[in-house]
Amino acid sequence: MKVSLAWEKSEAGGLLEEWLASHQGDLSCVLEELYRENFPESSGWDELEISLQFLDEEAMAALNGQYRGENRPTDVLSFPLWENDGHLELPPAGGVLPLGDLVFCRPVLDANAAAAGTSVQSELALLLAHGALHLIAWDHDTEERRAAMWAVQERYRQRILERAGACVKEG
């Protein structure tokens, strides 16, 4: 099973899209590992597809308002194709499985990175891992589930950064 990432170039993504493109193989390898360890059913497909998009604050606020009822921008929104009421309802295995869309807001991502004292690549790595988990019906709606999700997404952020050779600024 392999993971493919796809996105259309946008003004909102800027240099982060270049970083994604230059490290796409590394990102895919780490996401493959994430899914092998946390989504055993993934072995039934040859390929998992994830679509990525970058939006400005205005567009993200509108999307967040439409889907979550919060009229403000957020760092990432996940749109899983197979999640229903917290559970995965998967099609028959085989071939390509499109998992869904991850939508990022670059200004919020930048602000989060600055507040955390990390690079924007580190913040994007965290949000990729976070969103990848949401695409397989992980959630952080209880303290127990939040702790589990945060631990896994942090582990995979570090793996992405190790593979991609991204620097993390000291805070």
CA distance 123 to 121: 5
- Taking residue 70's Cβ as centre, other Cβ atoms within 10 Å add up to 11
CA 11-23-100 angle, 5° bins: 65
What are the C-alpha distances in Å from 136 to residues 8, 25, 89, 104, 148? 23, 21, 10, 18, 14
- Let me know: does 71 contact 61? Beta carbons within 8 Å: yes
How buried is 133 (Cβ within 10 angstroms: 0-12 exposed, 13-18 middle, 19+ buried)?
A: buried
Residue 130 among known ligand-binding residues: yes
CA 152-153-159 angle, 5° bins: 95
Residue 23 among known ligand-binding residues: no
Task: Give me the residue label for tokens 């919020």.
Answer: 108
Residue 87 among known ligand-binding residues: no
Annotated binding residues, written as ranges, equal 130, 134, 140
Annotated binding residues for Zn(2+), written as ranges, equal 130, 134, 140
